[in-house]
């Protein structure tokens, strides 16, 4: 079932809630791939009813980012959802979510702003305001669907950590389930933005995973000094790959570390063919 209005989603879910059925929400921006399907599969295994939201959220994109260009493939997304047993796809318009005449300005909207020490690093450093936009829309989706469980991928590990923090700090009655990152056979982390890459670009993009794998290998061999682990990346980089960041932080709090441990996560962002790609790996697994 495709639902475009907030009121209709609430009306649709109401009888199931009244019957104490559990509701799972998988928030997405569409252009669904195997990574999303694994979230849906986990949601299906845990919940009586599964709702997938498909909404390219304007307020999480910066002025020079790819909001207008972001792939919009609702027909295919809807087909994939129905084939995979999703009960409802919620795909509102920006006006439905933010009001008629909504403009990209924060003068007119109540935002949910996660703490600075979670957002002043990694993706938050170059994408100022991005996580305010993410937390605001996710909070709205939680208020609209009132799910028991919500499913997010570890591919966007900083986002997952920040959403868990928001839910805890704001006492939102939903359980956040983090699901493992899914890779192509080549090792490339699945992302809707991979669609922008040429075949050569996809090959170049493998550098991200190679760097992360090598850091993990070095850690397993006994190197724990974070600076030394980060240094190992430089042999993999070339002119076709523009490194934005490579950091090793605590996997739960994003605290900085001088020595890595089993609960550390290495995070990387690079631009390949002008496409911004991110990846991460837990060192202790
Ligand atoms: O990860 C995403 O696709 C988006 O950031 C999310 C969580 C759906 C919010 O728009």
Probe residue for ligand 1, chosen from 134, 141, 145, 194 as the CB with the greatest number of ligand atoms within 8 Å: 134
Q: Is residue 228 helix, strand or coil? A: helix
Residue 100 — pLDDT band, cuts 50, 70, 90?
confident
Structure tokens at 183: 């890779």
Reported CATH class of domain 2-179: alpha beta
Apex 29 CA angle, 26 and 32, nearest 5: 75
Helices (H), 170-281: 199-220, 226-231
Model confidence over 15-71: pLDDT tens digits?
999 999 999 999 999 999 999 999 999 999 999 999 999 999 999 999 889 899 999
Closest CA to ligand 1's atom 3:
28
- What span, in angstroms and rounded, lies between the C-alpha atoms of 282 and 250? 10
* Confidence (pLDDT) at 107: 64
Confirm whether 130 is a catalytic residue: no
* Confidence (pLDDT) at 82: 98
Cα dist. 247→4, 99, 125 in Å? 40, 39, 12
Considering the domain delimited by 192-282, tell me its CATH architecture.
Answer: 2-Layer Sandwich (3.30)
Residue 103 — pLDDT band, cuts 50, 70, 90?
low
Domain ranges across the chain? 2-179, 192-282
* Confidence (pLDDT) at 225: 98
**pTM for the full predicted model:** 0.95
In the structure, which protein residues have their CB atom closer than 6 angstroms to any atom of ligand 1?
27-29, 57, 60, 134, 137-138, 156, 159
End-to-end CA distance of the chain: 39
Q: Which helix (H) or strand (E) holds 29?
A: none
Model confidence over 231-252: pLDDT tens digits?
999 999 999 999 999 999 999 9
Nearest 10 degrees: CA dihedral of 147, 149, 150, 156?
A: 160
């Amino acid at each position: 079932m495709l639902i475009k209005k907030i009121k209709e989603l609430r009306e649709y879910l109401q009888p199931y809630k009244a019957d104490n059925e559990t509701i799972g929400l998988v928030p997405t921006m569409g252009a669904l791939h195997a990574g999303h399907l694994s979230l849906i599969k986990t949601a299906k295994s845990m919940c009586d009813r599964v709702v997938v939201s498909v909404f390219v959220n304007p307020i999480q994109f910066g002025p020079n980012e790819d909001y207008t260009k972001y792939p919009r493939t609702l027909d295919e997304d809807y087909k994939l959802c129905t084939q995979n047993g999703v009960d409802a796809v919620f795909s509102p318009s920006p006006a439905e979510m933010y009001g008629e005449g909504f403009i990209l300005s924060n003068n007119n909207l109540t935002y949910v702003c996660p703490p600075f020490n979670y957002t002043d690093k990694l993706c938050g450093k170059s994408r100022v305001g991005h996580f305010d936009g993410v937390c605001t829309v996710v909070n709205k989706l939680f208020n609209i669907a009132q799910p028991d469980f919500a499913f997010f991928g570890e591919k966007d590990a900083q986002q997952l950590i920040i959403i868990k923090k928001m839910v805890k700090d704001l006492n939102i009655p939903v359980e956040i389930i983090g699901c493992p990152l899914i890779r192509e056979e080549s090792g490339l982390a699945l992302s809707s933005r991979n669609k922008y890459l040429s075949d050569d670009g996809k090959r170049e993009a493998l550098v991200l995973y190679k760097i992360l794998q090598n850091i993990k290998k070095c850690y397993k061999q006994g190197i724990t000094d974070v600076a030394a682990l980060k240094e190992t990346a430089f042999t993999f980089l070339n002119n076709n790959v523009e490194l934005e960041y490579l950091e090793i932080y605590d996997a739960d709090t994003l605290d900085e570390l001088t020595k890595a441990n089993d609960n550390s996560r290495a995070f990387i962002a690079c631009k390949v063919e002008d496409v911004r790609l991110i990846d991460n790996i837990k060192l202790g697994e």
